[in-house]
Structure 1
Amino acid sequence: MSTFHQGSVVAALLLVLLLCDGLPNRIPCASAAGGETPSKPAPAPAAQALRLSLDEAVGLFLRNNLDLVITKYGIDYAAGQRITAALFPNPVLAVGTISSFTQGRTISNSGQLFTQVQQLFETAGKRGYRIESAGFGAQSAEAAFEDAIRQLGLTVKDAYYRIQLAQRRLVLAEENRDRFSRILEVNTIRFKKGYIAEIDLIRIRLQFIDFQSQVIQFIQEAETARADLRQLLRLSPAVHLELTTELDYKRVDPDIARLRTVALDARPDVRVKRLVYSQREADLKLAKAYRIPDVTVGAGYAIQGPQGPDNPQQAALNVGVPLPLFNRNQGGIMQAEVAVRTAEADLNRTLNQVENQVDIAYRNLIQSRRLVEAFLGGVLDDARSTLTIVERAYERGGATILDLLDAARTSRTIQQNFIEALFSYQRNVIQLESAVGQEIAS
Structure 2
Amino acid sequence: MHNDMRHDETGFRLRSAAVAWSTRIGLAFLLVICTTPVGGWGHAADSIGLSTSPFVPPVVRLNLSEAMALFLKQNLDLLIAKYGIESSKGQQITARLFPNPVAQIGNVASFTQGNTLSKSGALTMQVQQLFELAGKRGYRIESAGFGVQSVEADFEDAVRQLGFTIKDAYYRVLVAQRRLALAEENRDRFARILDVNTIRFKKGYIAEVDLIRIRLQVVDFQSQVIESIQEGETARAELRQLLRLSPASKLELTTEMDYRRVDPDMGKLRSVALEIRPDIKSRRAALLQREADLKLAKAFRVPDVTIGAGYSIQGPQGPDNQQMAILNLGVPLPLFNRNQGGIVQAEVGVQSAQAALDRTVNQVENQVDVAYQNLLQSRRLVEAYLAGVLEDARSTFTIVERAYERGGATILDLLDAARTSRTIQQNFIEALFSYQHNLFQLESSVGQEIAS
- Normalised by the length of structure 1, the TM-score is 0.90
Q: For the pair shown, which has the larger CA radius of gyration, 1 or 2?
A: 2
What is the aligned partner in structure 2 of residue 62 from structure 1? 72
What is the aligned partner in structure 2 of residue 185 from structure 1? 195
Counterpart of 2:442 in 1: which secondary structure? helix
Among 158, 161, 165, the residue aligned to 1:155: 165
Among 375, 399, 420, the residue aligned to 1:389: 399
Among 193, 209, 218, the residue aligned to 2:219: 209
Output one character per residue of 1:224-248: Cα deviation in whole Å (capped at 9) or x when no partner: 1111011011100111010011110
Gaps of 5+ in 1: 1-23, 27-39
What is the aligned partner in structure 2 of residue 315 from structure 1? 325
The residue correspondences of 1:215-364 to structure 2 (distance < 5 A) are 215-364=225-374
Task: Give the deviation of 1:395 after TM superposition.
Answer: 0.5
Among 133, 141, 146, the residue aligned to 1:123: 133
Give the paired residue count.
Answer: 406
CA distance in 2, matches of 1:60, 1:263: 26
Gaps of 5+ in 2: 1-36, 40-49
Change (3 A) 1:270 1:133: same
Counterpart of 2:204 in 1: which secondary structure? coil
Letter in 2 for 1:185: D
What is the aligned partner in structure 2 of residue 176 from structure 1? 186
Task: Give the deviation of 1:41 after TM superposition.
Answer: 10
CA distance in 2, matches of 1:330, 1:254: 52
CA distance in 2, matches of 1:108, 1:167: 96
Among 71, 75, 84, the residue aligned to 2:85: 75
CA distance in 2, matches of 1:294, 1:101: 37
CA distance in 1, matches of 2:55, 2:278: 44
Task: Give the deviation of 1:88 after TM superposition.
Answer: 0.5
CA distance in 2, matches of 1:425, 1:220: 24
CA distance in 1, matches of 2:111, 2:98: 41
Output one character per residue of 1:289-315: Cα deviation in whole Å (capped at 9) or x when no partner: 111111111111101121113311101
Task: Give the deviation of 1:379 after TM superposition.
Answer: 1.0
What is the aligned partner in structure 2 of residue 370 from structure 1? 380
CA distance in 1, matches of 2:238, 2:38: 37
Letter in 2 for 1:153: G
What is the aligned partner in structure 1 of residue 26 from structure 2? none
RMSD: 1.4
The residue correspondences of 1:14-29 to structure 2 (distance < 5 A) are none
Task: Give the deviation of 1:105 after TM superposition.
Answer: 1.8
CA distance in 1, matches of 2:254, 2:431: 20
CA distance in 1, matches of 2:38, 2:228: 31
Output one character per residue of 1:167-189: Cα deviation in whole Å (capped at 9) or x when no partner: 00000000000000000111111
CA distance in 2, matches of 1:362, 1:137: 33
What is the aligned partner in structure 2 of residue 3 from structure 1? none
2:409 equivalent to 1:399 = yes
Task: Give the deviation of 1:104 after TM superposition.
Answer: 2.4
What is the aligned partner in structure 1 of residue 13 from structure 2? none
Deviates more, 1:123-132 or 1:98-107: 98-107
Deviates more, 1:270-279 or 1:40-49: 40-49
Counterpart of 1:364 in 2: which secondary structure? helix
Runs (4+) of structure 1 moved beyond 4 Å?
40-44
Among 390, 415, 423, the residue aligned to 2:425: 415
Among 145, 154, 160, the residue aligned to 2:155: 145
Letter in 2 for 1:172: L
CA distance in 2, matches of 1:434, 1:42: 50
Output one character per residue of 1:153-198: Cα deviation in whole Å (capped at 9) or x when no partner: 1110011000000000000000000000000111111111111111
